[in-house]
Amino acid sequence: MSRTFDVGIESLAHQPVEAQHHDAPSPAAEPIRSASPPVVNGKSFYIETFGCQMNVHDSEKVAGVLLARGYRAAANPAQADLMLYNTCSIREKAAQKVFSRLGEWRGETQKIIGVLGCVAQQEGEEIFERAPWVSLVCGSASYRKLPDLVAELESGGRRVMALDLDTDETFETEITRRDNPIRAYITIIEGCDYACAYCVVPHTRGPERSRASDSVIAEARRLAEAGYTEIQLLGQTVNSYRDPSPRSLNFVELLQAVAAVPGIRRVRFTTSHPNDFHREIVDAIDATPAVCDHVHLPVQSGSTRILRAMRRTYTRDEYLEKISWIRGAKRAISITSDVIVGFPGETDEDFADTVSLLDAVGYDGVFSFIYSPRPNTSAASMPGAIPEGEKSRRLAFLQERQRQIQIARNAALVGGEFEVLVDARHAARGQWAGRTTSNRMVNFVSPRENLLGEYLQVRVTRAGPNSLVGEHVD
Protein backbone atom coordinates (compact mmCIF):
# COMPACT_ATOMS: atom_id res chain seq x y z
CA MET A 1 0.00 0.00 0.00
CA SER A 2 1.34 3.38 -0.97
CA ARG A 3 2.41 5.56 1.95
CA THR A 4 2.97 8.78 0.02
CA PHE A 5 0.74 11.74 0.82
CA ASP A 6 -0.49 12.62 -2.63
CA VAL A 7 -3.82 11.00 -1.91
CA GLY A 8 -6.70 12.26 -4.03
CA ILE A 9 -8.09 14.68 -1.52
CA GLU A 10 -8.10 18.32 -2.35
CA SER A 11 -9.22 20.91 0.11
CA LEU A 12 -10.12 24.55 -0.23
CA ALA A 13 -9.88 24.98 3.51
CA HIS A 14 -6.19 24.48 4.08
CA GLN A 15 -3.06 25.12 2.10
CA PRO A 16 -1.55 21.96 0.69
CA VAL A 17 1.84 21.72 2.35
CA GLU A 18 4.90 20.56 0.52
CA ALA A 19 5.29 18.03 3.30
CA GLN A 20 2.60 15.99 1.63
CA HIS A 21 5.08 14.93 -1.01
CA HIS A 22 8.12 14.87 1.16
CA ASP A 23 9.86 11.67 1.96
CA ALA A 24 10.33 12.49 5.64
CA PRO A 25 10.64 9.45 7.87
CA SER A 26 8.84 11.21 10.70
CA PRO A 27 6.15 12.17 11.38
CA ALA A 28 4.75 9.26 9.46
CA ALA A 29 1.46 8.84 7.74
CA GLU A 30 -0.92 6.85 9.85
CA PRO A 31 -0.92 3.28 8.66
CA ILE A 32 -4.12 2.10 7.06
CA ARG A 33 -5.72 -0.31 9.48
CA SER A 34 -8.07 -2.99 8.34
CA ALA A 35 -8.79 -6.45 9.61
CA SER A 36 -7.70 -8.03 6.34
CA PRO A 37 -5.76 -6.62 3.40
CA PRO A 38 -8.14 -4.78 1.05
CA VAL A 39 -9.18 -6.52 -2.13
CA VAL A 40 -7.97 -4.43 -5.06
CA ASN A 41 -11.03 -3.66 -7.15
CA GLY A 42 -9.21 -1.59 -9.76
CA LYS A 43 -11.34 1.48 -9.12
CA SER A 44 -10.15 4.85 -7.97
CA PHE A 45 -11.65 7.83 -6.18
CA TYR A 46 -11.02 11.54 -5.81
CA ILE A 47 -12.51 13.74 -3.10
CA GLU A 48 -12.74 17.51 -3.30
CA THR A 49 -13.46 19.06 0.05
CA PHE A 50 -15.08 22.43 0.78
CA GLY A 51 -15.45 24.15 4.11
CA CYS A 52 -14.32 23.62 7.67
CA GLN A 53 -11.78 21.35 9.33
CA MET A 54 -14.60 18.98 10.29
CA ASN A 55 -15.22 18.45 6.58
CA VAL A 56 -11.51 18.05 5.86
CA HIS A 57 -11.34 15.36 8.51
CA ASP A 58 -14.58 13.69 7.36
CA SER A 59 -12.98 13.38 3.92
CA GLU A 60 -10.00 11.65 5.53
CA LYS A 61 -12.37 9.14 7.10
CA VAL A 62 -14.27 8.61 3.84
CA ALA A 63 -10.94 8.08 2.03
CA GLY A 64 -10.02 5.47 4.65
CA VAL A 65 -13.31 3.64 4.12
CA LEU A 66 -12.79 3.58 0.33
CA LEU A 67 -9.14 2.50 0.54
CA ALA A 68 -10.16 -0.35 2.82
CA ARG A 69 -12.70 -1.43 0.18
CA GLY A 70 -9.91 -1.72 -2.39
CA TYR A 71 -10.22 1.66 -4.10
CA ARG A 72 -7.09 3.60 -5.01
CA ALA A 73 -6.63 7.34 -4.68
CA ALA A 74 -6.73 8.93 -8.15
CA ALA A 75 -4.20 11.63 -8.97
CA ASN A 76 -6.88 13.94 -10.35
CA PRO A 77 -10.66 14.07 -10.93
CA ALA A 78 -10.37 13.11 -14.63
CA GLN A 79 -8.79 9.76 -13.72
CA ALA A 80 -11.22 8.88 -10.94
CA ASP A 81 -14.00 6.30 -11.24
CA LEU A 82 -15.67 7.76 -8.19
CA MET A 83 -15.67 11.56 -7.86
CA LEU A 84 -16.90 12.81 -4.50
CA TYR A 85 -17.62 16.35 -3.39
CA ASN A 86 -17.64 16.88 0.36
CA THR A 87 -19.65 20.04 0.55
CA CYS A 88 -20.29 23.08 2.75
CA SER A 89 -23.48 25.10 2.96
CA ILE A 90 -22.62 27.52 5.74
CA ARG A 91 -22.96 30.47 3.34
CA GLU A 92 -24.79 30.63 0.04
CA LYS A 93 -21.62 31.12 -1.99
CA ALA A 94 -20.12 27.85 -0.72
CA ALA A 95 -23.25 25.95 -1.71
CA GLN A 96 -23.34 27.61 -5.16
CA LYS A 97 -19.76 26.58 -5.79
CA VAL A 98 -20.73 22.93 -5.36
CA PHE A 99 -23.44 23.17 -8.01
CA SER A 100 -21.08 24.89 -10.41
CA ARG A 101 -18.57 22.05 -9.88
CA LEU A 102 -21.30 19.47 -10.46
CA GLY A 103 -22.24 21.33 -13.65
CA GLU A 104 -18.79 20.50 -15.05
CA TRP A 105 -19.82 16.81 -15.15
CA ARG A 106 -23.08 17.38 -17.01
CA GLY A 107 -24.03 14.22 -18.95
CA GLU A 108 -21.17 12.19 -17.43
CA THR A 109 -21.86 8.44 -17.71
CA GLN A 110 -18.48 6.79 -17.04
CA LYS A 111 -17.96 8.01 -13.50
CA ILE A 112 -19.92 7.77 -10.30
CA ILE A 113 -20.44 11.31 -9.02
CA GLY A 114 -21.33 11.70 -5.36
CA VAL A 115 -22.25 14.59 -3.08
CA LEU A 116 -21.41 14.33 0.62
CA GLY A 117 -21.70 16.71 3.54
CA CYS A 118 -23.84 19.70 4.30
CA VAL A 119 -25.21 20.47 0.80
CA ALA A 120 -26.16 16.78 0.47
CA GLN A 121 -28.06 16.98 3.75
CA GLN A 122 -29.67 20.29 2.92
CA GLU A 123 -30.73 19.63 -0.67
CA GLY A 124 -31.28 15.85 -0.51
CA GLU A 125 -33.18 14.46 -3.48
CA GLU A 126 -33.22 17.90 -5.08
CA ILE A 127 -29.59 17.22 -6.09
CA PHE A 128 -30.71 14.35 -8.34
CA GLU A 129 -33.18 16.76 -9.95
CA ARG A 130 -30.66 19.52 -10.52
CA ALA A 131 -27.81 17.21 -11.54
CA PRO A 132 -29.25 13.87 -12.73
CA TRP A 133 -25.73 12.54 -13.39
CA VAL A 134 -25.16 12.39 -9.60
CA SER A 135 -25.75 8.91 -8.17
CA LEU A 136 -24.76 9.22 -4.50
CA VAL A 137 -26.03 11.70 -1.91
CA CYS A 138 -24.95 11.26 1.70
CA GLY A 139 -25.28 13.80 4.51
CA SER A 140 -22.59 14.12 7.16
CA ALA A 141 -24.76 12.64 9.90
CA SER A 142 -25.10 9.45 7.80
CA TYR A 143 -21.49 8.62 7.00
CA ARG A 144 -21.58 5.40 8.98
CA LYS A 145 -23.88 4.18 6.16
CA LEU A 146 -21.31 5.02 3.50
CA PRO A 147 -19.83 1.51 3.08
CA ASP A 148 -23.36 0.14 2.49
CA LEU A 149 -24.10 2.89 -0.02
CA VAL A 150 -20.89 2.20 -1.92
CA ALA A 151 -21.67 -1.55 -1.87
CA GLU A 152 -25.10 -0.82 -3.34
CA LEU A 153 -23.55 1.22 -6.15
CA GLU A 154 -20.98 -1.50 -6.78
CA SER A 155 -23.73 -4.05 -7.21
CA GLY A 156 -25.46 -1.96 -9.84
CA GLY A 157 -27.57 0.49 -7.79
CA ARG A 158 -28.32 3.62 -9.82
CA ARG A 159 -29.10 6.13 -7.10
CA VAL A 160 -28.33 5.86 -3.41
CA MET A 161 -29.05 8.36 -0.70
CA ALA A 162 -28.70 8.59 3.11
CA LEU A 163 -29.97 11.59 5.01
CA ASP A 164 -30.73 10.35 8.54
CA LEU A 165 -30.32 12.98 11.20
CA ASP A 166 -31.90 11.25 14.16
CA THR A 167 -28.80 9.24 14.83
CA ASP A 168 -27.11 9.10 18.19
CA GLU A 169 -24.00 7.60 16.69
CA THR A 170 -20.76 9.21 15.63
CA PHE A 171 -18.80 8.34 12.51
CA GLU A 172 -15.87 6.41 13.89
CA THR A 173 -13.47 4.38 11.87
CA GLU A 174 -10.05 2.92 12.46
CA ILE A 175 -9.18 3.29 8.80
CA THR A 176 -8.94 7.07 8.55
CA ARG A 177 -6.55 8.10 5.75
CA ARG A 178 -4.92 11.21 7.21
CA ASP A 179 -3.84 13.70 4.61
CA ASN A 180 -1.82 16.04 6.82
CA PRO A 181 1.40 14.42 8.02
CA ILE A 182 2.04 17.02 10.73
CA ARG A 183 -1.28 17.72 12.43
CA ALA A 184 -3.80 14.95 13.10
CA TYR A 185 -7.47 15.73 13.60
CA ILE A 186 -9.69 13.77 15.97
CA THR A 187 -13.43 14.41 16.07
CA ILE A 188 -14.65 14.27 19.69
CA ILE A 189 -18.17 15.64 19.20
CA GLU A 190 -20.41 15.81 16.15
CA GLY A 191 -23.51 17.89 15.40
CA CYS A 192 -24.78 20.83 17.44
CA ASP A 193 -27.55 21.37 19.97
CA TYR A 194 -27.42 25.16 19.84
CA ALA A 195 -29.85 26.95 17.57
CA CYS A 196 -28.08 30.09 16.40
CA ALA A 197 -30.57 31.92 14.23
CA TYR A 198 -28.26 32.21 11.20
CA CYS A 199 -26.74 28.73 11.18
CA VAL A 200 -27.52 25.63 9.10
CA VAL A 201 -25.25 23.31 11.08
CA PRO A 202 -27.87 21.88 13.49
CA HIS A 203 -29.92 21.07 10.38
CA THR A 204 -27.08 19.65 8.29
CA ARG A 205 -25.06 17.86 10.96
CA GLY A 206 -27.83 16.87 13.32
CA PRO A 207 -27.96 16.81 17.12
CA GLU A 208 -24.88 16.79 19.32
CA ARG A 209 -23.20 13.40 19.79
CA SER A 210 -20.03 12.99 21.85
CA ARG A 211 -17.63 10.14 21.34
CA ALA A 212 -16.56 7.81 24.18
CA SER A 213 -13.39 9.06 25.84
CA ASP A 214 -11.63 5.67 25.66
CA SER A 215 -12.06 5.66 21.90
CA VAL A 216 -10.64 9.19 21.59
CA ILE A 217 -7.65 8.39 23.82
CA ALA A 218 -6.97 5.12 21.98
CA GLU A 219 -6.94 7.02 18.68
CA ALA A 220 -4.52 9.59 20.14
CA ARG A 221 -2.22 6.72 21.22
CA ARG A 222 -2.30 5.19 17.75
CA LEU A 223 -1.47 8.57 16.24
CA ALA A 224 1.47 9.05 18.58
CA GLU A 225 2.73 5.57 17.70
CA ALA A 226 2.44 6.49 14.01
CA GLY A 227 4.72 9.49 14.61
CA TYR A 228 2.30 12.38 15.09
CA THR A 229 3.15 14.88 17.80
CA GLU A 230 0.29 17.36 17.28
CA ILE A 231 -3.40 16.58 17.66
CA GLN A 232 -6.35 18.86 17.07
CA LEU A 233 -9.61 17.90 18.77
CA LEU A 234 -12.56 18.84 16.61
CA GLY A 235 -16.21 19.65 17.13
CA GLN A 236 -18.65 22.38 16.10
CA THR A 237 -18.87 23.07 19.83
CA VAL A 238 -15.84 21.11 20.97
CA ASN A 239 -16.01 22.28 24.57
CA SER A 240 -19.61 21.06 24.97
CA TYR A 241 -18.09 17.54 25.03
CA ARG A 242 -19.81 15.09 27.41
CA ASP A 243 -18.39 11.60 27.62
CA PRO A 244 -21.22 9.12 26.98
CA SER A 245 -19.21 6.27 28.58
CA PRO A 246 -19.18 5.35 32.30
CA ARG A 247 -15.85 7.21 32.71
CA SER A 248 -17.84 10.37 32.07
CA LEU A 249 -14.89 12.69 31.47
CA ASN A 250 -15.65 16.34 30.91
CA PHE A 251 -13.96 18.35 28.15
CA VAL A 252 -11.05 19.50 30.31
CA GLU A 253 -10.37 15.97 31.57
CA LEU A 254 -10.38 14.64 28.02
CA LEU A 255 -8.07 17.45 26.88
CA GLN A 256 -5.63 16.61 29.64
CA ALA A 257 -5.85 12.87 28.97
CA VAL A 258 -4.96 13.41 25.30
CA ALA A 259 -2.16 15.80 26.30
CA ALA A 260 -0.77 13.07 28.59
CA VAL A 261 -0.38 10.54 25.77
CA PRO A 262 3.35 9.80 25.45
CA GLY A 263 4.77 11.42 22.32
CA ILE A 264 2.05 14.07 21.97
CA ARG A 265 3.64 17.51 22.29
CA ARG A 266 0.80 19.76 21.16
CA VAL A 267 -2.95 19.52 21.56
CA ARG A 268 -5.33 22.05 20.00
CA PHE A 269 -9.11 22.22 20.06
CA THR A 270 -11.67 23.99 17.93
CA THR A 271 -14.33 25.43 17.90
CA SER A 272 -15.23 26.55 21.41
CA HIS A 273 -18.67 27.95 22.20
CA PRO A 274 -18.50 30.86 24.67
CA ASN A 275 -21.45 29.44 26.62
CA ASP A 276 -19.46 26.31 27.51
CA PHE A 277 -16.16 28.11 27.96
CA HIS A 278 -15.33 27.81 31.66
CA ARG A 279 -12.40 29.04 33.70
CA GLU A 280 -11.20 25.42 34.05
CA ILE A 281 -10.19 25.45 30.37
CA VAL A 282 -7.83 28.36 31.03
CA ASP A 283 -6.52 26.60 34.15
CA ALA A 284 -5.90 23.47 32.05
CA ILE A 285 -3.91 25.45 29.49
CA ASP A 286 -1.86 27.00 32.28
CA ALA A 287 -1.24 23.64 33.95
CA THR A 288 -0.59 21.51 30.86
CA PRO A 289 2.35 22.49 28.65
CA ALA A 290 1.17 20.28 25.79
CA VAL A 291 -2.15 22.13 25.50
CA CYS A 292 -1.49 24.92 23.01
CA ASP A 293 -1.87 28.53 24.08
CA HIS A 294 -4.57 29.44 21.61
CA VAL A 295 -8.33 29.70 21.99
CA HIS A 296 -10.70 30.18 19.05
CA LEU A 297 -13.79 31.72 20.65
CA PRO A 298 -16.28 32.98 18.05
CA VAL A 299 -18.16 36.05 19.28
CA GLN A 300 -20.23 36.71 16.09
CA SER A 301 -21.26 40.22 17.25
CA GLY A 302 -20.22 42.78 19.85
CA SER A 303 -23.79 43.98 20.38
CA THR A 304 -25.83 42.28 23.10
CA ARG A 305 -28.99 43.17 21.21
CA ILE A 306 -27.78 41.35 18.08
CA LEU A 307 -26.37 38.46 20.11
CA ARG A 308 -29.84 37.98 21.56
CA ALA A 309 -31.40 38.09 18.08
CA MET A 310 -28.78 35.56 16.95
CA ARG A 311 -29.66 33.35 19.98
CA ARG A 312 -26.04 33.17 21.01
CA THR A 313 -26.93 32.66 24.72
CA TYR A 314 -24.39 35.19 26.10
CA THR A 315 -24.09 38.95 26.35
CA ARG A 316 -21.19 41.16 25.32
CA ASP A 317 -20.20 41.55 28.99
CA GLU A 318 -20.35 37.82 29.68
CA TYR A 319 -18.15 37.20 26.64
CA LEU A 320 -15.69 39.86 27.77
CA GLU A 321 -15.55 38.29 31.22
CA LYS A 322 -14.39 35.02 29.63
CA ILE A 323 -11.78 36.96 27.68
CA SER A 324 -10.54 38.43 30.98
CA TRP A 325 -9.97 34.89 32.34
CA ILE A 326 -7.86 34.10 29.27
CA ARG A 327 -5.92 37.35 29.59
CA GLY A 328 -5.38 36.58 33.29
CA ALA A 329 -3.61 33.28 32.51
CA LYS A 330 0.06 32.78 33.34
CA ARG A 331 0.74 31.94 29.69
CA ALA A 332 0.14 34.46 26.90
CA ILE A 333 -2.81 32.79 25.20
CA SER A 334 -3.70 33.99 21.71
CA ILE A 335 -7.37 34.53 20.96
CA THR A 336 -9.10 34.32 17.58
CA SER A 337 -12.74 34.68 16.63
CA ASP A 338 -15.49 34.57 14.00
CA VAL A 339 -17.65 37.62 13.32
CA ILE A 340 -20.76 38.09 11.18
CA VAL A 341 -21.61 41.55 9.86
CA GLY A 342 -24.99 42.64 8.50
CA PHE A 343 -27.21 40.32 10.53
CA PRO A 344 -30.87 41.42 10.04
CA GLY A 345 -31.59 44.55 12.04
CA GLU A 346 -27.90 45.36 12.72
CA THR A 347 -27.80 49.15 13.18
CA ASP A 348 -24.77 51.43 12.87
CA GLU A 349 -24.56 51.36 16.69
CA ASP A 350 -24.65 47.57 16.80
CA PHE A 351 -21.88 47.45 14.21
CA ALA A 352 -19.88 50.03 16.17
CA ASP A 353 -20.21 47.71 19.20
CA THR A 354 -18.62 44.89 17.17
CA VAL A 355 -15.75 47.15 16.09
CA SER A 356 -15.17 48.33 19.65
CA LEU A 357 -15.16 44.71 20.83
CA LEU A 358 -12.29 43.96 18.44
CA ASP A 359 -10.36 46.78 20.14
CA ALA A 360 -11.36 45.62 23.62
CA VAL A 361 -10.25 42.01 23.05
CA GLY A 362 -7.22 42.55 20.81
CA TYR A 363 -7.73 39.42 18.74
CA ASP A 364 -4.80 37.72 17.04
CA GLY A 365 -7.01 36.74 14.12
CA VAL A 366 -10.64 37.11 13.06
CA PHE A 367 -12.58 35.27 10.37
CA SER A 368 -15.24 37.77 9.35
CA PHE A 369 -18.25 37.06 7.17
CA ILE A 370 -21.12 38.87 5.54
CA TYR A 371 -24.39 37.50 6.85
CA SER A 372 -25.87 35.06 4.33
CA PRO A 373 -29.52 33.97 4.75
CA ARG A 374 -29.75 30.17 4.86
CA PRO A 375 -32.65 27.79 4.35
CA ASN A 376 -34.17 26.22 7.48
CA THR A 377 -32.81 28.96 9.75
CA SER A 378 -34.95 31.33 11.80
CA ALA A 379 -32.97 34.41 10.71
CA ALA A 380 -33.91 33.83 7.06
CA SER A 381 -37.39 35.19 7.74
CA MET A 382 -36.35 38.03 10.04
CA PRO A 383 -37.16 41.58 8.96
CA GLY A 384 -34.51 44.27 8.69
CA ALA A 385 -32.28 42.85 5.94
CA ILE A 386 -29.18 45.00 5.46
CA PRO A 387 -28.46 46.06 1.84
CA GLU A 388 -25.58 44.13 0.25
CA GLY A 389 -23.55 47.32 -0.34
CA GLU A 390 -23.79 48.26 3.32
CA LYS A 391 -22.83 44.74 4.43
CA SER A 392 -19.73 44.90 2.20
CA ARG A 393 -18.82 48.34 3.55
CA ARG A 394 -19.07 47.10 7.13
CA LEU A 395 -16.99 44.02 6.34
CA ALA A 396 -14.22 46.09 4.71
CA PHE A 397 -14.18 48.53 7.63
CA LEU A 398 -14.00 45.75 10.20
CA GLN A 399 -11.29 43.87 8.33
CA GLU A 400 -9.13 46.98 8.06
CA ARG A 401 -9.51 47.67 11.78
CA GLN A 402 -8.58 44.08 12.62
CA ARG A 403 -5.61 44.25 10.25
CA GLN A 404 -4.26 47.21 12.22
CA ILE A 405 -4.76 45.31 15.50
CA GLN A 406 -2.82 42.32 14.13
CA ILE A 407 -0.02 44.52 12.80
CA ALA A 408 0.41 46.03 16.28
CA ARG A 409 0.14 42.69 18.12
CA ASN A 410 2.56 40.89 15.81
CA ALA A 411 5.04 43.80 15.85
CA ALA A 412 5.35 43.32 19.61
CA LEU A 413 6.74 39.81 18.95
CA VAL A 414 9.75 40.98 16.91
CA GLY A 415 12.97 40.02 18.72
CA GLY A 416 11.26 37.20 20.62
CA GLU A 417 12.12 33.50 20.28
CA PHE A 418 9.42 30.90 19.82
CA GLU A 419 9.20 27.16 19.40
CA VAL A 420 7.94 26.36 15.90
CA LEU A 421 6.66 23.04 14.58
CA VAL A 422 7.82 22.99 10.96
CA ASP A 423 5.05 22.04 8.52
CA ALA A 424 6.07 23.32 5.08
CA ARG A 425 8.97 24.21 2.83
CA HIS A 426 8.80 27.12 0.36
CA ALA A 427 11.59 25.99 -1.93
CA ALA A 428 11.36 29.00 -4.27
CA ARG A 429 11.84 31.42 -1.37
CA GLY A 430 14.38 29.25 0.40
CA GLN A 431 12.16 29.37 3.49
CA TRP A 432 10.58 26.95 5.91
CA ALA A 433 7.21 27.55 7.53
CA GLY A 434 5.72 26.42 10.79
CA ARG A 435 3.43 27.36 13.63
CA THR A 436 4.03 28.54 17.15
CA THR A 437 1.95 27.00 19.93
CA SER A 438 -0.25 30.12 19.67
CA ASN A 439 -0.89 29.09 16.03
CA ARG A 440 1.01 32.01 14.49
CA MET A 441 2.56 31.21 11.14
CA VAL A 442 6.31 31.83 10.97
CA ASN A 443 8.35 31.77 7.75
CA PHE A 444 12.02 31.36 8.48
CA VAL A 445 15.42 30.50 7.11
CA SER A 446 17.68 27.79 8.42
CA PRO A 447 21.08 26.42 7.42
CA ARG A 448 19.76 22.92 8.15
CA GLU A 449 17.82 20.57 5.88
CA ASN A 450 14.97 18.05 6.34
CA LEU A 451 13.16 20.05 8.98
CA LEU A 452 9.58 18.94 8.38
CA GLY A 453 7.94 17.78 11.59
CA GLU A 454 10.75 19.19 13.77
CA TYR A 455 10.37 21.54 16.73
CA LEU A 456 12.82 24.43 16.42
CA GLN A 457 13.56 27.70 18.15
CA VAL A 458 12.99 30.62 15.79
CA ARG A 459 13.83 34.29 16.45
CA VAL A 460 11.30 36.68 14.94
CA THR A 461 12.93 39.40 12.81
CA ARG A 462 9.89 40.91 11.05
CA ALA A 463 6.13 40.88 11.45
CA GLY A 464 3.20 41.37 9.09
CA PRO A 465 -0.52 41.29 9.84
CA ASN A 466 -0.89 37.58 9.14
CA SER A 467 2.49 36.00 9.69
CA LEU A 468 5.94 36.41 11.15
CA VAL A 469 9.37 36.15 9.55
CA GLY A 470 12.33 34.79 11.46
CA GLU A 471 15.54 32.82 11.62
CA HIS A 472 16.31 29.46 13.13
CA VAL A 473 18.44 29.74 16.26
CA ASP A 474 20.04 26.68 17.80
Contact footprint for ligand 5AD (CB under 6 A)? 90-91, 198-199, 298, 300, 338, 340, 369, 371-372, 374
Nearest Cα neighbor of 220 from 208, 233, 235 is 233
- Would the CA dihedral through 469, 368, 95, 308 be positive or negative? positive
Task: Work out what residue 192 binds among ligand 5AD, ligand SF4, none; the CB cut-off runs from 5 to 8 Å by kind.
Answer: ligand SF4
Q: Does 88 bind ligand SF4 (CB under 6 A)?
A: no
Which span sits near ligand SF4 by CB under 6 A: 4-12, 142-150, 190-198, 329-337?
190-198
Fill in the per-residue mask, 262 to 281: x = in contact with ligand SF4 (CB under 6 A), - = not in contact.
-----------x--------
| 225 CB-contact burial (10 Å; exposed 0-12 / middle 13-18 / buried 19+) | middle
Q: Which of 74, 116, 188, 196 binds ligand SF4 (CB under 6 A)?
A: 196
Which of ligand 5AD, ligand SF4, none does residue 374 bind to, with CB < 5 to 8 Å depending on kind? ligand 5AD
Query: Which of 55, 89, 236, 436 is close enough to bind ligand SF4 by CB under 6 A?
Result: 236
The one among 29, 52, 184, 201 contacting ligand SF4 by CB under 6 A: 201
Q: Return the ∠ at Cα 438 (arms to 434 and 444), rounded to 5°.
A: 25
194 lines the binding site for ligand SF4 (CB under 6 A): yes
Nearest CA to 190 out of 61, 337, 30, 319 is that of 61
Which range of residues in 44-52, 198-206, 346-354, 357-365 is near ligand SF4 by CB under 6 A?
198-206
By C-beta, is 292 or 310 nearer to ligand 5AD?
310
Q: Residue 428 corresponds to which amino acid?
A: A
Least distance CB 361 / ligand SF4 (angstroms): 18
Site for ligand SF4 contains 307 (CB under 6 A): no
Q: Judged by CB, which is closer to ligand SF4: 119, or 226?
A: 119
Burial of 237 (0-12, 13-18, 19+ CB in 10 A): buried
Q: Are 314 and 274 in contact (CB under 8 A)?
A: yes
Pick 137 or 199: Cβ nearer ligand SF4: 199
Helix segments in 82-165, DSSP class H = 92-103, 117-123, 126-130, 146-154
Helix (H, G, I), strand (E, B) or coil at 290: coil
Nearest partner of 219 among 185, 266, 183, 252, judged by Cα? 185
Binding site for ligand SF4 (CB under 6 A): 192, 194, 196, 199, 201-202, 236-237, 273
